[in-house]
């Protein structure tokens, strides 16, 4: 299940998330952020909080963490 999502309607391609968290976000050819690694880390949460359009959604529901 996807934990991190970028709302393509909201993303303005500013690149802030990719700068904060280059392992997780990449700006694609459409100049929109894309999730390249679906793992929620503190940097991902920070990137979501700093996104100017709140385009990054994180599923907080806990699954088994083994
Ligand atoms: S910070 Fe938000 S608006 Fe900027 S590229 Fe990332 S998802 Fe898009």
Count Cβ atoms within 10 A of the Cβ of residue 33 and give its class: 0-12 exposed, 13-18 middle, 19 or more buried.
buried
13 lines ligand 1 (CB under 6 A): yes
55 lines ligand 1 (CB under 6 A): yes
What does CATH list as the number for 4-58?
Answer: 3.30.70.20
Do residues 24 and 37 lie in contact, with contact meaning Cβ atoms separated by under 8 Å? yes
pLDDT single digits (tens) 36-66: 999 999 999 999 999 999 999 998 765 555 4
Q: How far is the CA of 14 from the centre of ligand 1 (A)?
A: 5
- For the chain, give the number of residues: 66
The predicted structure's pLDDT at residue 1: 79
The predicted structure's pLDDT at residue 63: 57
- The pTM of the full predicted model, rounded to 2 decimals, is 0.88
The predicted structure's pLDDT at residue 38: 97
Q: Which residue, judged by its Cα, is nearest atom 2 of ligand 1?
A: 51
Q: What's the whole-number mean pLDDT along residues 12-41? A: 97
What percent of the chain lies above the pLDDT cut of 90?
85
Going from N- to C-terminal start, the domains of the chain cover 4-58
């Amino acid at each position: 299940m996807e934990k991190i999502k970028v709302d393509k309607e909201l993303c303005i391609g500013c690149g802030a998330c990719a700068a904060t968290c280059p392992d997780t976000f990449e700006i694609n050819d459409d100049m929109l952020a894309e999730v390249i690694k679906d793992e929620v880390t503190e940097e991902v949460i920070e990137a979501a909080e700093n996104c100017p359009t709140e385009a990054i959604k994180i599923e907080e529901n806990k699954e088994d963490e083994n």
